[in-house]
Amino acid sequence: MTINPTKPTGAVKTMKIRDNIKKWLAYDYDLDAAPVMPDPVEPDVEAPDISFWRSLRRRGAHRALYYVAAVICSIILASTLILTVSGMPRYGEDAEFMDTVTYEYLAHGMEYTGAVNIVSGIILEYRAFDTLGESFVLFCAVTCVLVLLRIDDGKDDVSLPCHDLTGDVILSRTMRALIPFIFIFGIYVLLNGHLSPGGGFSGGAVLGAGIILLSSAYGEKTSGKFVTERTFRIVTTSALLFYCVGKSYTFYTGANGLHSFIGNGTPGNILSAGLILPLNVAVGLVVACTMYGIYRMFKERRF
């Protein structure tokens, strides 16, 4: 005779259900539950998604409502913006008040900043504080990516899955021919920022893309000759500190009406336009390092 487990009575059943509901609620709201990221060790097995139950509850009517509302909102926003743009001032209208700043930049920009490329003059002299902020946006972004993706203690020691092209014949042969030109072009754009279209942001982007290409074609051993973590830190830190200190000097002398020892030189010379050339180099280095740093973090999660 087999031993039958006691048949659950109604009260026990209710208690079980209540327990389950409690557990379920606790799980739903548990603040210390596992992070909602796919388990990196076995990508096929999904980590328990805490919001799953909640989303299940809302599936159905809620979901349909959500899509309809989203479409309606987008249509309203888009039509409002189109209406707005059609009501905007036309090009060249209202010249007296509206275009004062533009005309001043065009008329005296070269004389006052020493930069033939007015855009460089504007972003690194007239509105240098904004550009200082922009460089720190990049710095902030790379810090956040480091915080999010970096692994050092081997806790979840797995890199994100990505298509590895190292050693690919076509890529490496093409790169062997192209890399010198990419770097030379990047350096040219960087150094001529005050003379011709270009400057720190664009030149830095070219350089950063070059390093990333090098790294993906030949692996990190080759690119590691250019950028290790140490060089990354040194270059970013010194470039940003130079920007901070150099521009602070200009701001301080400018606001206090002091004479600045930095002259504008002759517009058109390579060594002219005051701080614009070194600042372009600093910004370019920051941009290149940021791009490469973010690439490394996403690929390997470490330097």
Partner 1 sequence: MSFIENLPFLSVVVFLFAAVVCSVLKPRAARAFTAAVEALVVVFSALTLFYTYTVGEPFRYNMGHFDAPWSNQLRAGVLDALAALAFSSVLLLSHIGGIRYAKIDIEQKKQNSYCTLLNLIGAALMALSYTNDLFTGYVFLEILTLSSCGILVIRRQGRTTLAAARYMVINLLGSGLFLLGVTLFYGTTGHLLMEYIKVGVENLDATGEYSIPLTVTIGLVSAGLAIKSGLFPFHTWMPDTYGTATPTSSAILSGIVSKGYIFLLIKIMYRVVGTGTAAMTAACHILYVFGMIGIVMGSFWAIKSKYLNRMIAYSSAAQIGYIFVGIGLGGDAGFRAAIFQVLAHAFTKPLLFIAGARLSEASGDSQAFSALQGSAHRSRAAGAAFAIGAMSMVGIPTLAGFSTKLYFAIAAVEHGTLVDLATLAVLAVSTLLNALYFIRTVIRIYTPSPAPEPLPTFEPSPDKHDPGLAAAVGFAAGILFLGIFPGTVSSLILTGLSMFG
Residues of the shown chain interacting with partner 1 in the complex, contacts defined by CB under 8 A:
29-33, 35-37, 50-51, 80-81, 83-85, 87-89, 94, 97-102, 104-105, 112, 125-130, 132-134, 136-137, 139-141, 143-144, 146-148, 150, 152-153, 233, 236-237, 240-241, 244-245, 248, 250-257, 260
Concatenated DSSP letters for 233-253? HHHHHHHHHHHHHHHHHHHHH
Complex with partner 1: residue 15 or 144, whichever CB lies closer: 144
Q: Give least dist CB 284 to partner 1, A.
A: 17
| Eight-class DSSP state of 262 | -
Of 50 and 191, which has the nearer Cβ to partner 1? 50
| 30 or 42: CB nearest partner 1 | 30
Beta carbon of residue 27, minimum distance to partner 1 (angstroms, whole number): 12
139 vs 188, beta carbon nearer partner 1: 139
Q: Cβ(119)–Cβ(110) under 8 Å?
A: no
- Burial readout 170-196 (b: 16 or more C-beta within 10 A, e: otherwise): eebeebeeebeebbebbbebbbbbbbe
Q: Which helix (H) or strand (E) holds 56?
A: helix 52-58
Distance of closest approach, residue 136 Cβ to partner 1, in angstroms: 6
* Shortest CB 235 distance to partner 1, Å: 12
Cα–Cα distance, 69 to 129 (Å, whole number): 41
Instruction: Please classify residue 88 by burial: count the beta carbons closer than 10 Å to its beta carbon, then call 0-12 exposed, 13-18 middle and 19+ buried.
Output: exposed
To partner 1, the closest distance from the beta carbon of 86 in angstroms equals 8
